[in-house]
Structure 1
């Protein structure tokens, strides 16, 4: 299953989009029998975590093991084959006509056909970054527990958390590296920094974008601003959004790539993935 599952449920032969049904399933199955907790709060290590409706999982159930220690994420703990026939679970599902049941391409994808869970865009003030959006951002940023220089030679740590506009070497030479970062940080501290930076990014986005958005559009914009900064100067992008010219806005992502720098290629790749999220709700990182 990878590290996460998004589960959709049928009721009377059709997919239910009733939030009350999802809450019943979460509480009566996942909370009760798996001991699952909510929303990756500090200290919730080595347990299943559920995404609540207030974070984003409204018409589906999302749960994951991303807060498990590495020793519990070894291949031996992930069942991939049935002992009797040695076929993969995906092959078995397809063989009995359940091809959509195991449409798994990694934790950064929701729907390869680009369908959106929302029938209409909603007020961006009511949106938070979804679990898929978070997984996409953290995969691109990656987590480094020791200070390092980003592509602009700025001292950074964790999931792209900016320490200083100066380099690590300069901070060390001048003995000006903040004490709390000198010997590195823990994974939990990196997670806390990420959530804090994410909240700042979301708030910055809400101040700049007042038009309604799909969840996938919100996630793509959060990823862009988390990477490029909440004060990003992209007048065409924000003008298109203000005018509700969503497709034109998506095209503007492609120009935010720091042309002529060492990071241009990687940024171009990220922007294209963000456009795919924005337009198609397609959360593919690789």
Structure 2
């Protein structure tokens, strides 16, 4: 259910979750002259305030527009009532979005020199967790190629190459009609847990069939269960799963 706790906009409380919801609702509007979507990051800024004002002026026809959305106010009621539903389509017709790409890059972080993914330490010899670029796991046979590092452009090229199989897995394994943000969230999840794990997961079963019998009461629980490293709950993975779920469920693209 769409609701905000406090006011959003000029002189508002501007709680991050409330701001993100208003940004998402504004992006769902067809406002004349407003083509570029707002960044859904939960941060109040001049662009969000300006978009609220334009909505009030052009859609609500308000003479005295204040750039603020109140929980029980006219602006919020109209935003919720007139928001267009996100387009759903077969996963095979989706591509990983620029917003998803940028978020995944910020999560994985660029490393132009090899490091041990298990410890975060720089390395000069190959180890099992040897990593470079945007989360590229270096095979033993690849070590001579990457041991002296790579450029940022090479890292980006490697990232795109690495990403393709994960995108294709989501495109081929998801049979339900989904939105762009749902597709992006599943690509980011799959990139982290692996293609085989995603293919065999309760997440995929429940996305394809909401009535599927699994060990979990709902899709959110199944998604967030992927928060363990070597059998132990990992704080970083817990936060990552929440960020992915926010993309899937709310269309909020924000790193923790």
- For the criterion TM > 0.5, the same-fold answer is yes
Q: Name the CA shift for 1:252/1:91 in 2 (closer, same or farther; >3 Å).
A: closer
Which structure 1 segments of 5+ residues have no match? 1-5, 23-59, 65-87, 101-112, 165-170
Match of 1:285 in 2: 255
1:162–1:285 CA distance, 2 compared to 1 (3 A) = same
1:223 is displaced (CA, Å) by 0.5
Structure 2, unaligned runs of 5 or more: 1-23, 40-44, 54-64, 70-79, 120-127
1:169-213 Cα deviation digits (max 9, x unpaired) = xx6xxxx65322121000001111111122111001122212111
Tell me the distance in 1 between the aligned counterparts of 2:145 and 2:174.
35
Q: 1:159 aligns with which of 112, 134, 144?
A: 134
Q: Once the 2 structures are TM-superposed, how far is the Cα of residue 156 of structure 1 from its aligned partner? A: 1.0
1:201 to 146, 149, 166: 166
Does structure 1 residue 227 correspond to structure 2 residue 197?
A: no
The alignment of Structure 1 onto Structure 2 pairs a total of residues equal to 191
Contact 1:250 1:278 in 2 (8 A): no
**Mapped partners of 1:275, 1:9: distance in 2:** 19
Q: 1:55-89 CA distances to partner (integer Å, 9 max, x unpaired)?
A: xxxxx54799xxxxxxxxxxxxxxxxxxxxxxx84
> Structure 1 residue 241 and structure 2 residue 207: aligned?
yes
Quote the RMSD (CA, aligned, Å): 3.8
The 1:194/1:62 distance shift into structure 2, 3 A limit, reads farther
Q: How does 1:106-255 map to 2 (within 5 A)?
A: 118-151=85-118, 154-164=129-139, 178-232=143-197, 234-244=200-210, 248-255=218-225
State which of 211, 216, 236 in structure 2 corresponds to 1:266: 236
Deviant stretches of 4+, over 3 Å: 6-10, 60-64, 88-100, 115-120, 244-247, 259-263
Q: Tell me the SS of whatever aligns to 2:191.
A: helix
Query: 1:216 is paired with a residue of what secondary structure?
Result: helix
Partner deviation per Cα, 1:89-124 (whole Å, 9 max, x = no partner): 469848973459xxxxxxxxxxxx9x9875442110
Residue 15 of structure 1 and its aligned partner are, at CA, apart by 2.2
Verify the 8 A CA contact 2:91 2:172 in the aligned structure 1: no
Q: Which has the higher helix share?
A: 2
Residue 3 (structure 1) aligns with: none
Q: Is the 8 A contact 1:276 1:282 kept in 2?
A: yes
Assess, with a 3 A threshold, how the Cα gap between structure 1 residues 280 and 92 changes in structure 2: closer, same or farther. Answer: closer
User: Per the alignment, do residues 265 and 279 of structure 1 end up closer, same or farther by CA in structure 2, a change over 3 Å counting?
Assistant: same
SS in structure 1 of the partner of residue 252 of structure 2: coil
Aligned mates of 1:91, 1:120 — CA distance in 2: 23
User: How far apart are the structure 2 equivalents of 1:272 and 1:190?
Assistant: 27
TM score, norm. by length of structure 2: 0.62
> By how many angstroms is 1:155 displaced?
1.1
Normalized against structure 1, the TM-score is what? 0.56
